[in-house]
Amino acid sequence: MKLMWLEALKRRLLEEDPDFSYYHEQFRRVDAGFAGEKKVDREWLELVYPYTFFVLHNLMLMNSAQHSHQLDTLFICTNFMLVVEIKNINGRLDFDDITHQCIRTKPDGTVEGFPNALTQTQRHMQFLKVISQNYSLPIEGAVIIANPSAIIASHPNTIPIFHVSGLQKHLHSLFKKYTQAFLNDNQLTQFAQQLLSRQQPSKIPAPIDPSCFRQGVLCPKCQYKPQMHFARGIWTCSRCHYTSKAIFAEALQDYRYLVRPTITNKQLREFFNIPSSDVANRLLRKFQFPFTGSNKNRVYHLPENLIEYMKPFFRSS
């Protein structure tokens, strides 16, 4: 959710905005983190284990102090659970157990500080120990570096840290370490469902003032700078003359993330520069969005994944 919000903002935020560089850097970091998680996901798909297990991704839980625990991946089987923290960064990585900081040295010599993934993992393990008391599963942790060019230098021996290629070997070492089953399959499923029931819903960040970003349907061929104009069901760029029907889905999804998850006829006309109320009405009805209210008071509710939702309507037109 955050990545898609940042992607929408990256397309539309004005270069002169004082936060332009900040949001672009945020997008780069979140995008790299998500790419790292996908690399590790491929390893889970190749896991061969003869017993029931669960792999829970992006688990967002809240503790009793109402502080969040964002677990990249949690592996649970009948014998143990493994908390996995994933980092997709390059350079030389030094983990300091005294300062609880990760120091990254880039190839050009630039030095940066990051939160210590080992400390983050330990925090998650302590939390899971509290909420899993009824199940008595041993809890293990590991930090996985998804970037193959990263060099793992100094680090304490508190929690294993290794490249993604070492995940399979590490799991098999845990299977050998924990040969006793603490749960049966029903109890394991119950525990996984209990964790999922605590999952916090994804939230769109606070809205940005629309005056800070470009409105309308923007031309992807012109780096999302000029607005495209709508006529006879087609959006056209006046600069490069690129035409598209489906580009409206991307723009409307940007609107959902940056402005609000609902839209009215008037709001559609104002944001997308559509002069006719009748044209806007036909456009909104075409996609069969769920709505509340009637006639002039009608409010359309935009589904979460608009691009996928709207695809069939473009094929049929």
Contact 284, 300 (CB under 8 A): yes
Q: What is the pLDDT of residue 48?
A: 85
Task: Give the chain's end-to-end CA distance (angstroms, integer).
Answer: 29
Q: How far apart are CA 98 and CA 96, in angstroms?
A: 5
* pLDDT confidence band for 317 (50 / 70 / 90): low
Sign, Cα dihedral of 264, 270, 271, 274: positive
The pLDDT of residue 101 is 85
Mean predicted confidence (pLDDT) in 272-286: 93
Chain-wide mean pLDDT for the chain?
Answer: 92
Secondary structure of 79-119 in the HEC alphabet? CCEEEEEEECCCCEEEEECCCCEEEEECCCCCEEEEECHHH
Q: Tell me the pLDDT band of 296, cut-offs 50, 70 and 90.
A: confident
- Pick 315 or 276 by higher pLDDT: 276
Taking CA atoms, 156 is separated from 100, 139, 145, 161, in Å, by 10, 19, 16, 9
* 130 — pLDDT class (breaks 50, 70, 90): very high
d(CA 155, CA 96): 6
Asked whether the predicted pLDDT for residue 13 surpasses 70, the reply is yes
The residues pairing with 114 across neighbouring beta strands, listed in sequence order, are 102
Note the pLDDT tens digit of each residue in 61-99: 999 888 889 999 999 999 999 999 999 988 999 988 888
Distances (CA, A) of 173 to 124, 166, 170: 21, 11, 5
pLDDT in tens, 244-255: 999 999 999 999
Residue with tokens 């004082």: 18
β-sheet with 291-292: strand ranges across? 262-263, 299-301, 291-292
Compute the C-alpha angle 106/85/27, nearest 5°: 60
pLDDT at 80: 96
Here the tokens at position 212 are 């800070």
CA distance 256 to 307: 11
pLDDT of residue 178: 96
| pLDDT tens sequence across 186-203 | 999 999 999 999 999 877
Backbone angles phi, psi at 312, to 5 degrees: -60, -30
CA dist., res. 159 & res. 168, Å (int):
16
φ and ψ at residue 293, rounded to 5 degrees: 85, 175
**Do residues 93 and 153 touch, judged by C-beta distance below 8 A?**
yes
pLDDT band of residue 316 (cuts 50, 70, 90) is low
Smallest CA-to-CA distance from 19 within 209, 262, 216, 171 is with 209
- Which pLDDT does position 22 carry in this prediction? 92
Which segments of 148-277 are extended strands (E)?
A: 151-152, 161-163, 228-231, 234-237, 243-244, 262-263
Kindly list the strands in the beta sheet with 228-231, ordered across the sheet, starting from the edge strand earlier in the chain. 228-231, 234-237, 243-244
Reported confidence tier of residue 115, pLDDT bands at 50, 70, 90: confident
Q: What pLDDT is stored for residue 217 in this prediction?
A: 96
Better pLDDT: 243 or 232: 243
pLDDT at 284 over 70: yes
| Spatial contact of 219 and 240, defined as CB atoms under 8 Å apart | yes
Q: What residues does 73 pair with on adjacent strands?
A: 57, 84
